[in-house]
Amino acid sequence: MREISYARAGMEALVEEMRRDPTTIHLATDAPPSLVEEFGEARIRATPITENAFSGIAIGAAGSGLRPIVNWSMVTFCFVAMDQIVNQASKIHYMFGGQQTFPIVFRSSVGGGTSLAAQHSQSPYSMFMNLAGLKLILPATPYDMKGLLKSAIRDNNPVLSFESTRLMGFKGEVPDDDYTIPLGVADVKRTGSDITVVALAWLVHEALAAAEEMAKEGVSVEVVDPRTLFPMDNETIRASVQKTGRLVIADEAGPTAGAAAEIAALVTEDAATFAALKAPPKRVCALQVPIPYSPGLENHVFPDRNRIIAGIREVMAAG
């Protein structure tokens, strides 16, 4: 099978869905020439640098029959549009009694590892998990990127697509044929029997590397990638932990009230899963600080395969 990059897979999903559905439009502060050439300036809009305005425009266009795809570029810039995301997009279907659908995709890159310092190295998805009314995808492979983004574009709700900065050049197998991946379905990226590592985005790959390393020591690691943060696939995660009895959660975001905390809660509050635990769950997250610039500082803050390995060893030693 052919291999393409994570970024390319996102572009293929966008282009194929825009071909498939003439009501799709693209709003971003730049208009990629290849998109303008194929779809025209009417559908590929270069906006002023006004995230609050063009995110609101997307909501109004969606409520008027279009399917806007917004690209904030970095998640950094979505904070300028928080009124439209939090007060409007997440609630508008509900507070109007479900009378209108608002199909919108908001794309942005998340995570660090590229010395872009505090503002441009964020992973704030848990802030949006906390709202009712938004779906959130966080693909870790080119295959998942394409399949999830296509589903997001076809979904009748606002969907936030968080895309890992570190993975943009990462290559993987992607079929030529049209396919989608349903939202809310996790993927077991590696099966194992001793411990479950639920990992997000770039850390899926670090967890797989850690699993390879631990296998040499005779520890069988299962790696689960939720792929969608809302809706979260509680069943797959709980089933894995019931099987292994141990859990490490790896996330590039900080731990406080984060996705990792949510995953720990959904495991421990379920009686059957709790009863199967042999040791306390462990979070392996970024340190709770703004992300610093200098590589030595940045590397100190982010988790990686070595910290996942340390986490696995700690949980294995505990029971």
Partner 1 sequence: MTASPELQREMLRQMQTIRRFEERASDDYHNGAIYGVVHCYIGEEAVAVGVCSALNKDDQIISNHRGHGHCIAKGADLNRMMAELYGRQDGYCKGKGGSMHIADFSIGMLGANGIVGGGLSIVTGAGLAAQLEGKGRVAVCFFGDGASNAGSFHESLNIAARWKLPMLYVCEHNSWAANTSSRMTHARDDVASRAAGYGIPGVVVDGNDVLAVYEAATDAVARARAGEGPTLIECKTYRWRAHTERPGAADPRPLEEIAAWMAKDPIQHLVDDLKQQQGQYSDAEFQALDDAVMSAVAAAVAFAEASPFPAPEAALDDVFAD
Stretch that binds partner 1, among 30-38, 62-70, 236-244, 266-274 (CB under 8 A): 62-70
Distance of closest approach, residue 234 Cβ to partner 1, in angstroms:
17
CB 183 within 8 A of CB 174: no
CB 184 within 8 A of CB 170: no
What does the alpha-carbon distance between residue 127 and residue 211 come to, in Å, rounded to a whole number? 30
For the four alpha carbons of 90, 92, 96 and 100, in that order, the dihedral sign comes to negative
What does the alpha-carbon distance between residue 190 and residue 199 come to, in Å, rounded to a whole number? 11
Contact residue for partner 1 among 43, 189, 238, 246 (CB under 8 A): 43
To 5 degrees, how large is the angle CA 216–CA 220–CA 225? Answer: 115
Q: Pick the catalytic residue: 26, 120, 205, 300?
A: 120
Q: How far is CA 139 from CA 134, 164, 225, 258, in A?
A: 16, 8, 9, 17
Contact residue for partner 1 among 13, 35, 59, 316 (CB under 8 A): 59
Kindly state the number of chain residues that form the binding site for partner 1, as judged by CB under 8 A: 43
Residue 57 engages partner 1 in binding (rule: CB under 8 A): yes
- Whether residue 205 lies in the annotated active site: no
Residue 130 engages partner 1 in binding (rule: CB under 8 A): no
CB 186 within 8 A of CB 208: no
Residue 248 engages partner 1 in binding (rule: CB under 8 A): no
Stretch that binds partner 1, among 89-97, 114-122, 195-203, 270-278 (CB under 8 A): 89-97
Stretch that binds partner 1, among 1-9, 31-39, 130-138, 271-279 (CB under 8 A): 130-138
Stretch that binds partner 1, among 9-17, 127-135, 193-201, 304-312 (CB under 8 A): 127-135
Contact residue for partner 1 among 9, 12, 17, 93 (CB under 8 A): 93
DSSP line for 28-82: ESS--HHHHHHH-TTTEEEPPS-HHHHHHHHHHHHTTT-EEEEEEEEGGGGGGGH
Grouping H, G, I as helix, E, B as strand and the rest as coil, residue 245 is: coil
For 221, list phi and psi in degrees, rounded to 5.
Answer: -105, 130
Contact residue for partner 1 among 19, 20, 87, 265 (CB under 8 A): 87
What does the alpha-carbon distance between residue 125 and residue 160 come to, in Å, rounded to a whole number? 9
User: Which residues inside 153-192 make contact with partner 1, applying CB under 8 A?
Assistant: 156-157
Contact residue for partner 1 among 10, 68, 139, 245 (CB under 8 A): 68
Residue 148 engages partner 1 in binding (rule: CB under 8 A): no
Residue 88 engages partner 1 in binding (rule: CB under 8 A): yes
Grouping H, G, I as helix, E, B as strand and the rest as coil, residue 146 is: helix
Contact residue for partner 1 among 12, 17, 55, 208 (CB under 8 A): 55
CB 131 within 8 A of CB 88: no
Residue 44 engages partner 1 in binding (rule: CB under 8 A): no
Distance of closest approach, residue 45 Cβ to partner 1, in angstroms:
8
Grouping H, G, I as helix, E, B as strand and the rest as coil, residue 256 is: coil
Residue 50 engages partner 1 in binding (rule: CB under 8 A): yes
Residue 62 engages partner 1 in binding (rule: CB under 8 A): yes
Residues that bind partner 1 (CB under 8 A): 25, 42-43, 45, 47-48, 50, 52-66, 68, 83-84, 87-88, 92-102, 132-133, 135, 156-157
> Where in the sequence numbering do the catalytic residues fall?
120
